[in-house]
Amino acid sequence: MPKARIAVIGMAGKWSTEILADALEARSGYRQIIHPNRLHLDIPNQQLIADDLNLCELDGLIIKKIGQDSGSLALQRLELLRVAEAQGVRIFSSPHALLRLLDRLTCTVTLQTAGLPLPPTCVTESLEEALACIARWGEVILKPLFSTKARGMLLLSQAQSEAALRLELKKFQSRNPMLYVQKRLQLPGEDLGLVFLQGRYLGAYARIAGANTWNTTIHSGGHYAKRDLPQEVIDIAERAQAAFNLDFATVDIALTSEGPVIFEVSTLGGFKGAQSGIGLDIAGLYAESALSSLMGPG
C-alpha cells in the first residue's frame, strides 16, 4: 500500500518547516512545501491550486506557518484551506481550530468561557478605559490582536505622565483600533510552554528572559530549559488546548504568586522549545502521528 502524501504549509528555508518536511519524507517518501501565498482557489472546478498542484488530491496537509505576520490575510488563507478540507483532505490542525487561535481576542474569549485562569485583561475601544486600567494596575502591556513573539507589544506605566500615555495609546490605537490591555504580571524571570500532541502531554519547557528585557521570548534574547511541573498545572494546560481541538499545541503559562495563568494557546510554534528545551524530536513525532492517523499503525 502506498504511503500517504502529506504536504507542509509553510516557509521554505525556515527551520521548523524544513525539519517537518524532512520528517515526512523520511517516513513516507513524499516531500512538498507549499508557501501559503501560493494558494489559488478555482471555484468552477472546485480546486485549490499551488504551483500546479491540486491540494484537494493530497491525503493531508500540516499547517506549520500561515504567513510571516498574523492578520486578516492569514485568516483568508485559512478559509482557502477549508476548501481542501471539505473535499476530504485531512488538515493538521483544522483551519476551523486555527481561526480561533490567530486572533488574540478570540483565543482569550474561548479560554475565558472555558473557566481557565487568565491575567487581568481589559479589551476596549475607549482610550479613557485604557487609562483607567493603567491607573488601577500600575503597569500594563498593550497587545495587538494579531502578532507573535511579542512583536508590536507595548509596555506602559502609570509613572509616565498622562499626556505621554495618551500619546502612546493614540499611536497604538491608530494601528490597533481595539485595545487589548493586560496587567503586567511579576513573573519569576520565565514563562512556560507545555507541549501536546493529539491531546497527549509530552513535556514542558521554560523561556527564560534575557538581560534588560520585560518579555521572555527567544526573539528578545531568552533561552530554553526543561521544566518538570506539578499535575495541577498540566491539568490546566490540558483543558486549555482541549478547548480548541488541536492536533499539536503549545500552551503558554506563567506561574505567579496567585497561581498559574494562561497567556495563549498556539499550534504554529513550539518546535524549537520542544527540541531545545525538552529534547523532543517534535517534527518526527508529529509526522508519525499524522501518517498513522491516515494510514493506520505500521
Q: What is the CATH number of the domain that holds 61?
A: 3.40.50.20
Express each pLDDT in 4-30 by its tens digit: 999 999 999 999 999 999 999 999 999
For the segment 235-257, the average pLDDT, to the nearest whole number, is 96
Let me know whether 175 and 194 are in one domain.
Answer: no
Checking if the pLDDT of 215 tops 70, the result is: no
Confidence of residue 296 (pLDDT cuts 50, 70, 90): low
Any domain includes 107: no
Matching residue, cell 498542484: 53
Name the residue range of residue 92's domain: 6-99+284-295
Domain count, the chain: 3
Query: Measuring CA to CA, which residue among 52, 5, 11 is closest to residue 29?
Result: 5
**Long-range contacts: 103-106, Cβ < 8 Å, 24+?**
103/70, 103/75, 103/145, 103/146, 104/143, 104/144, 104/145, 104/146, 104/147, 104/180, 104/264, 105/145, 105/178, 105/180
Express each pLDDT in 170-183 by its tens digit: 999 999 999 999 99
For the segment 64-81, the average pLDDT, to the nearest whole number, is 85
Let me know whether 218 and 256 are in one domain.
Answer: yes
Query: Looking at the DSSP assignment, which residues form a beta bridge with residue 196?
Result: 201, 249
Indicate yes or no: pTM above 0.85. Answer: yes
Pull the grid cell for residue 265. Answer: 494557546
Checking if the pLDDT of 149 tops 50, the result is: yes
Let me know whether 91 and 12 are in one domain.
Answer: yes
